[in-house]
Amino acid sequence: MAWKIALAGIGKIARDQHVPSIAASRDFDLAATVTRHEGVDGVENHADIEAMLAARPDIEVVSLCLPPVPRFEYAAAAIKAGRHVMLEKPPGATLAECHALEAMARNAGVSIYATWHSREAASVEAARNWLADKRLKSLKITWLEDVRRWHPGQEWIWEPGGLGVFDPGINALSILTRILPTPVHLAGATLKFPENRQTPIAADLAFRHPDGAEVSAVFDWRKEGDQFWNIEAETDRGTMELSDGGANLSIDGAMVEASDVALEGEYPNLYMRMAEILRTGGIDMDLSPMVHVADAFLLGKREIVAPFHE
């Protein structure tokens, strides 16, 4: 029997990934949406979360796809109403509110899942397995994309809580925290803020590895032309490259895992994982990628760069 699910926040990622993933799932039926704008054809829509929760006590799960800042109130309302909650990345605007949501879910006896879609990219697990028994010498993340292409007109990303370049950068950090056998922590950062914006457009990060490996990341939202989402690692027994956001894996220059479609399988896998959590009554609130982002804002040197205009 499929769970009835409501989808709150019907923007680009919801239409491109969540709606088709739910439609293809054997575990979920999309029973309602929550948005003040255009909903999904053929699906009942409500203007706010409280109205949906009151009207549809039969809906067991709420998947939240709206921006991070308003997400806490929606999640808290759903948990208070006894519904299970699925959170688009990042799971909240602050670490404290994410911890609060987990505590609320435990007290209410419902499941909550902080999703990290990039961990479900086709070659991430193969990379994790390859690195597991090797000594890391260096690892570099290069995450370069064009904000105008991927986030057109989304002003919320430039406001406090919107994360700026860390909105895609946290995807890279979710992979990093999945594939490394030994955790790292941030040692320093430089954050580049357009003079007319509240969040960074680029960032350089340096991490401290317990065994002395050099671990770094470069995020930039100003990349025109070809886009790059790569992770390169050198070990005592060869080199590895995860490219295209984790879709493709090369070992010592030879391709060993490949996927032709960006995001292929990532969101369907998230809903499969949510179904597993529901069946076991579990909670999955791994916040390790978000810790690195928070540390970057704490440690980061601030540089002002040219203004950004859409």
Q: Would you please indicate which residues are annotated as catalytic (active-site) residues? A: 89
* Cα angle value 202/219/291 (rounded, 5°): 100
Question: Among 199, 197, 217, 198, which Cα is nearest to 207's?
Answer: 217
Strands 185-194 and 202-208: antiparallel
3-state secondary structure of 87: strand
Q: What is the dihedral of CA 8, 11, 17, 20, to 10 degrees?
A: 70
Distance CA 42, CA 28 (A): 16
In 145-287 the beta strands, taken as DSSP E runs, fall at 185-194, 202-208, 214-220, 228-235, 238-243, 248-251, 254-257
Which residue has 């829509």 as its token pair? Answer: 45
Distance CA 13, CA 150 (A): 10
Q: What is the side-by-side order of every strand in the sheet holding 84-87?
A: 45-46, 28-34, 3-8, 61-64, 84-87, 112-114
CB 46 within 8 A of CB 52: yes
Amino acid at 219: F
Strands 28-34 and 228-235: unpaired
